[in-house]
Amino acid sequence: MVKTRKKIAVVALGGNALLLPGEKGTIQEQFLNTQKSIEGIVHCIKRGFDVVITHGNGPQVGNLLMMVELSRGKVPELPLGTCVADTEGAIGYMIQQALINRLRKEGIKKCVVTILTQVIVDKDDAAFKNPTKPIGSFFSEEEARIFREEKGWSMVEDSNRGYRRVVASPNPRKIVEEESIKRLLESGEIVIAVGGGGIPVTIDKDGYLEGVDVVIDKDLASSVLARDIKANYLFMLTGVENVYLNFGKSNQKPLDTITIEEAERYMREGHFPKGSMLPKIQAAINFLKEGGERVFITAIDKVKESIMGQAGTRIIP
């Protein structure tokens, strides 16, 4: 008897889903937000999908880097890659616990596993020569000068609030733990992976992995993961219900269902901001061109409606 392959869904939670504007960011607040954010994931599981969960970590890494700065000279410093790994584990723990408890309540017997995921980037990626992603605390001009000289950091003035470190954001190429994720899915596990875009690594001349202090866009990394595990669907859950044309303007227009061709045209026309929607659209296009069936971009609480065609933006081949 031939076993029917289940549909695989990669569900990408935005980092701000766990730490909302106006909150202090306590662990108690983040646990409560996590419990609310998993409703769409539970719906996918009930529909019979095999699910892989990814998530952002921007606010959490920012807080951890602030702790690093405040403890400078008292404890050894943590490099950025280690901070990404720490937050990937911590957020994975929160999602894992919240989901296990919710599945128990629903009477669903499934294991939930978090994998600390390394993501390979090309050491020759042009992004390394043009760091643009601001991270961490604000510093004075004198502190910025010292960090440039002593650490080789790239520092830029940020909105007249001081100087911040900027790092490269190269494109993700491959998921190191891909085969482990596949095996866990095949055994019926729910997997949490590629947290915060994954821990960035390069491959040296001898073929060994080496960590690098850069950040990887979570949605682009989720797209690579979805491609490599041959997922059917990619959900990118964010703070708005739809993708919009002319977002924030009087003539803004929500998009319902669009094709790759339409998405590329709107992208060329400049409808999608670099720091927010553009990576999601690029991730959607990449995934669909590699064989994905459908991409859903919507609010965290609109997954069910989005699948039914009643909310959100759907992108199709």
| Residues classed as catalytic | 15-16, 133, 218, 280
Dihedral sign (CA 227, 214, 260, 252): positive
* Token pair in block for residue 8: 């695989």
Taking the C-alpha atoms of residue 109 and residue 230, their distance in angstroms, rounded to an integer, is 24
With a CB cutoff of 8 Å and minimum separation 6, the contacts of 143 are: 163
Residue 102 burial class via C-beta count within 10 angstroms: exposed 0-12, middle 13-18, buried 19 and up:
middle
Taking the C-alpha atoms of residue 313 and residue 180, their distance in angstroms, rounded to an integer, is 31
Q: Which of 165, 161, 15, 146 is nearest to 91 (CA)?
A: 15
DSSP letters of 136-186? EEEE-HHHHHHHHHHH--EEEE-TTS-EEEEE--PPEEEETTHHHHHHHHH
What are residue 185's phi and psi, to 5 degrees?
-60, -45
Q: Is residue 198 within 8 Å of 115, Cβ to Cβ?
A: no
Taking the C-alpha atoms of residue 175 and residue 223, their distance in angstroms, rounded to an integer, is 11
Q: Is residue 233 within 8 Å of 10, Cβ to Cβ?
A: yes
Dihedral sign (CA 104, 8, 238, 256): negative
Place of tokens 């609030």: 161
